[in-house]
Amino acid sequence: MATTDDGYMRFFPFEEPYDHQREAMGTIYDALDEGQDVLFEGACGTGKTLASLVPALEHARETGKTVVITTNVHQQMRQFVEDARAITDQERLRAVVFRGKGSMCHIDVDYEECQALRDTTRDLVEVESDIAELEQREGELLSDGQAGSSEAMEARNAVVEELRDLQDEREDIETERSTCDHYYRNLTVDTSEFYAWLFDDVRTPDDVYEYAHQQGLCGYELLKEGMDGVDLVVCNYHHLLDPTIREQFFNWIGRDPEDIIAVFDEAHNVESAARDHARRTLTENTLDQALEELDGEEDARTDAAANVIETFRDALVEAYEDAFEFGARAAVDEHWDDITIANDDRKDDLTLAFLQGYTGPGFHEELDRALELGRDLDARYQEAFKKGELDTRKECQTLQAAGFIADWLDESDDTGQYPVVSVRRDESTDEVYGRAELYTCIPEEVTRDLFEDLHAAVLMSATLRPFDVTENVVGVEDPVTMAYGAQFPEERRRTYAVDGPALFSSERDDPQTQQRIARTLEDIVRFTPGNTLVFCPSYSEAERYHDMTAVSATRYLDEPGTQARDLREAFTDGDDGVLYTSLWGTLGEGVSYDGDDARTVVVVGVPYPHLDDRMDAVQDAYDVAFGEDEDDAGWRYAVEIPTVRKTRQALGRVVRSPDDFGARILLDKRYTEAAEMEMHDYAVRGTFPPEERREMVDIGPEKLKFSLLNFYQDMDAYDGPPPKP
């Protein structure tokens, strides 16, 4: 380890940091000392993880805080574990890698059932403990009584009576109520050996599961109970972005939010992840189940609850049935399809149908009664499961339905919440049913409270700029910002902006355009000495160019719903293949193609996402929120910047080390410098960071093969004679 006056260097696991890495660590350490958030963009090779983690761990050690590092990319989770292990080899850490209960449960029950099982199991253990104490006391009193103490014999009789009652209670729990054998062992055996093993290294959730399985323990609960006051937690986004999970998670760590330093990896994904965690849905099936639950329930509140829930259910059906055009119902399949219900000048169609269909003393009053009844029913189900009267922990559908309806009526006209109705076909019954959804347009409504409550956060990514947009979208106030471009030798990479067809959606089906793209791709594959990655705007276009290109290389096609890992392994095992995929799939970020795994990466077109009603709603919400400061804020924030970030992520799949080399190709004239003047409204080059724009070489499609030939010859990359142009 390097000799330095910087205390945080004790957590740096290698000999010397890069100069930029040392600078970044100093900047982050100072920011954390001031309680400031950090936006940190660094290209591949910057060492972002250690540059963030090292000063965060030092500040946490000095101030009694905990560092939580989180990602939504599985490969990065594995990298975090490796980095944490390297750190703890030289500076001891108490680190925990945490994953959701569903992937660690030995008996496969949901959270509510698990909670009820834990409560009953704890009751059993407490009764057994009381019995053991009374048995010991009874024995002592018996000895005293046999020695002649009448008071002891009288006291013993009282203890024996109490003991019988407890034994009856134990028998009742064992025979009539549900418990968990794994959790029972957690509470009744010495677990110190487990915790010694856990903190002797950085253990993965799979490690914990296997260890606990061998010992008959519940590893998930042991992990939760061992997290109190640890130095470092590695986890998934939802542990921080879901408000309910976050509160429990911090309780397990034993820290208040102001004692947490959060490091978000791949932070450009926080926007979409927060939006996903904020979405709320209610299906027609749940409404039907709520009405069945209420049917026959003898409670004065039942009629009110049934009235408001049935009215909403009927309004949901009316909303989607009225929206169906001729033949549309028959075309509904097993996937959720959105139906437009929002209106510019009045409430949405579902709310209007509800208000028009409702009759009663007042839906707010009846909703309040439905919520009260739902809470009482839910508590009853909890108690019944604990007592063993129910085999599984029953969910209260009335509570779910009433809670959602209350939110819908309160929030569906909020510009930040977009009301949606979707339909799908039940494959088992062949019936069409609907779903209502409140879709959160502006993630800041979810994330601002989080960033305000934490001591500080470091948001890091290779594609986080423009920083002002990130600040606005996720609600980070006055952060420290820093960006480091590519650190590897520039002469070992080329970035080409090809002046080929502009693949507007209206032109993608033009046969002449398709032929020009296919011929250019053939040149790229032919002159690449190794594997080629081709990212298209969609899976359908990936399939199109997979079928249209005539190449000698082995062709691989990524398709929706297939196992991408197996495909990637097959592709990288060879050295002369071409993989066609969607930029919006799983292979565009968080996956490294080191060295021979891939030499050239191509982005075909400007791969804007599908512009549906939801995306329009997000644009409108951003226009309202940020339009005063910037023209076209909605389009820029919601569409253009996320698309360019995805494109930059795709380009970063190759050239992953100082010794690596490769070509990155943007195949669409909108990336060229000329487009900035000739088609200003459609050009996207200006959205890239300046140092990346400087590296872009504008080139015609017919000249691209010559440039690739020269570059790869300079790299001495061809085995044998190079291909002839």
pLDDT tens profile 145-194: 888 888 888 888 888 889 999 998 898 888 888 889 999 999 999 999 99
Q: 518 pLDDT exceeds 60?
A: yes
Let me know how many helices (H) and strands (E) the chain has, helices first: 29, 18
Out of 69-73, 84-88, 625-629, the most confident range is 84-88
pLDDT at 5 over 70: no
What confidence tier does 391 reach under pLDDT thresholds 50, 70, 90? low
pLDDT digits 0-9 by tens, 468-478? 999 999 999 99
679-708 residue pLDDT tens? 988 999 999 999 999 999 999 999 999 999
Cα–Cα distance measured from residue 699 to residue 667, given in angstroms and rounded to the nearest whole number: 10
Distance CA(232)–CA(282), nearest Å, equals 37
Helical H runs in 177-260?
181-188, 192-198, 205-215, 219-225, 238-241, 243-253
Beta bridge partners of 461: 41
Element (DSSP H or E) covering residue 451: helix 444-453
| C-alpha dist (Å) from residue 505 to 432, 502, 580, 607 | 31, 9, 19, 10
**3-class SS letters over 99-157:** CCHHHCCCCCCCHHHHHHHHHHHHHHHHHHHHHHHHHHHHHHHHHHHHCCCHHHHHHHH
Locate 139 and state its tokens: 């024995």
Would you put residue 514 in left (φ > 0), alpha (ψ -120 to 50) or beta? alpha
Q: What is the DSSP string of 57-88?
A: HHHHHHHT-EEEEEES-HHHHHHHHHHHHHHH
Instruction: Let me know: does 159 contact 134? Beta carbons within 8 Å.
Output: yes
pTM assigned to the model: 0.88
Q: What is the DSSP letter of 228?
A: T
* CB-CB contact of 486 with 44 (8 Å): yes
Residue with token string 């549900």 = 178
State which H helix or E strand residue 26 sits in.
Answer: helix 19-33
Q: Which two tokens stand for residue 528?
A: 């690449």
Q: How confident is residue 1, by pLDDT bands cut at 50, 70 and 90?
A: very low
Q: Give the C-alpha separation, 237 to 12, whole Å.
A: 25
- What confidence tens digit (pLDDT) does each residue in 540-567 have? 999 999 999 999 999 999 998 777 888 9
Whether the ω angle into residue 361 lies within 30 degrees of 0, i.e. cis, is no
Which ranges constitute the DSSP H helices of 358-414? Answer: 363-386, 397-411
**Does residue 3 register a pLDDT over 60?**
no
Mean pLDDT of 18-22: 91
Tokens of residue 631, six digits: 């023209």
- Give residues with Cβ within 8 angstroms of 284, minimum separation 6: 313, 316, 317, 433, 434, 435
CA distance 267 to 278: 17
pLDDT above 90 covers a percentage of the chain that reads 72
CA-nearest of 286, 421, 404 to 353 is 421
Measured CA to CA in angstroms, residue 351 lies from 340, 366, 370, 432, 632 at distances of 13, 16, 18, 21, 30
290-317 pLDDT, tens per residue? 999 999 899 999 999 999 999 999 999 9
- Calculate the dihedral angle through the C-alpha atoms of 365, 366, 372, 375, rounding to the nearest 10 degrees: -140
> What mean pLDDT, rounded, does the chain reach?
92
- Radius of gyration of the chain from Cα atoms? 31
The CB density around residue 175, as the number of other CB atoms within 10 Å, is 8
Q: Indicate the pairing of strand 577-582 with strand 66-71.
A: unpaired
Give the HSE-up count for residue 5: Cα atoms under 13 Å, Cβ half-sphere.
Answer: 0
**Sheet of 600-604: strands edge to edge?**
554-557, 577-582, 532-536, 600-604, 662-667, 493-498, 696-699
Mean pLDDT (whole number) for 59-71: 96
State the pLDDT at residue 501.
Answer: 93
CA pair distance 33, 595, nearest whole angstrom: 39
What is the average pLDDT across 261-289? Answer: 94
Q: E strand or H helix at 601, and its extent?
A: strand 600-604
Token pair 């309910």 is at which residue?
244
Q: How far is CA 325 from the centre of its chain?
A: 36
Coil, strand or helix at 559? coil
Q: What is the pLDDT of residue 2?
A: 38
Quickly count: other Cβ atoms within 10 Å of residue 259's Cβ.
17
SS3 labels along 204-220: CHHHHHHHHHHHCCCHH
Residue 451 CB contacts under 8 Å (≥ 6 apart), including other chains = 37, 457, 474, 475, 476, 477
Residue type (1 letter), 65: K
Predicted confidence band of residue 664 (pLDDT cuts 50, 70, 90) = very high
Rounded Cα gap, residues 371 and 388, in angstroms: 26
